[in-house]
Amino acid sequence: MKQIIAIIRPEKFPEVKKALTDAGVKGMTIREVKGRGNQKGIKLQSRGGSYEIEFLDKIEIMVVVHSDMAQKVMDVILASARTDRGPGDGKIFVLPVDEVIRIRTGEKNDDSL
């Protein structure tokens, strides 16, 4: 089982959500986060000079899927979250998951996903 954490542009969220749902990923957990990448935020120009915005709004999507689904989920997020607007599209992290339990039934691991 793999945990996939994707940090994406907020305005791309509806597209990514739809793409994931279409790919068969129904459950997901999301939150609003702030973050920055290698560019350390962005620089804006104003009449009084330029200034930096260190942290920008992002949405973090967390899903846990069967290991053989992980590549497909990554592809789906890549295709739906990418823009041509330069840096800031976000990142995808993939982590191994030791154990999953569905609280309602006590089912474990692959049965509980």
Partner 1 sequence: MILQVDSGDTSWILGATCLVLLMTPGLAMFYGGLIRKKNVLAMFGMCLAAMIAVSIEWFMIGYSLSFSTSIGGFIGDLGYAGLVNIHVASPVGTIPATVFVVFQCVFAMITAAILASPFAERTRFGSFLLFIGIWSMIVYDPIAHWVWAPGGFLFLLHALDFAGGTVVHVNVGFSALAVALVIGKRRGFKKDPMEPHNIPMVLMGLGLLWFGWFGFNGGSALAASEIAGLAIINTNLAACSAAITWVVFEYADKNKKKPSTIGIATGVLAGLVAVTPAAGYVQPWSAFVIGIISTCAVYFVLKWRARSNLDESLDAFACHGIGGVVGAVLTGVFASVNSTGLISGNPMQIAIQALGVLCAAGYAFGVTLVLALIFKKALRIRVPEAEEYVGCDLSQHHEIAYA
By the criterion CB under 8 A, which residues form the site for partner 1?
Answer: 9, 11, 13-14, 42, 44, 46, 51, 53, 56-57, 85
The partner residues of 100 in beta bridges, in order of sequence, read none
- Measured from the CB atom, is 37 or 112 closer to partner 1? 37
Smallest distance, partner 1 to C-beta of residue 78, A: 19
- Measured from the CB atom, is 37 or 94 closer to partner 1? 37
- Measured from the CB atom, is 3 or 13 closer to partner 1? 13
* DSSP at 87: S
Smallest distance, partner 1 to C-beta of residue 59, A: 11
Q: Checking phi first, is residue 45 left (phi over 0); if not, alpha (psi -120 to 50) or beta?
A: beta
Amino acid at residue number 76: V
Helices marked H in the chain — which ranges? 13-22, 70-81
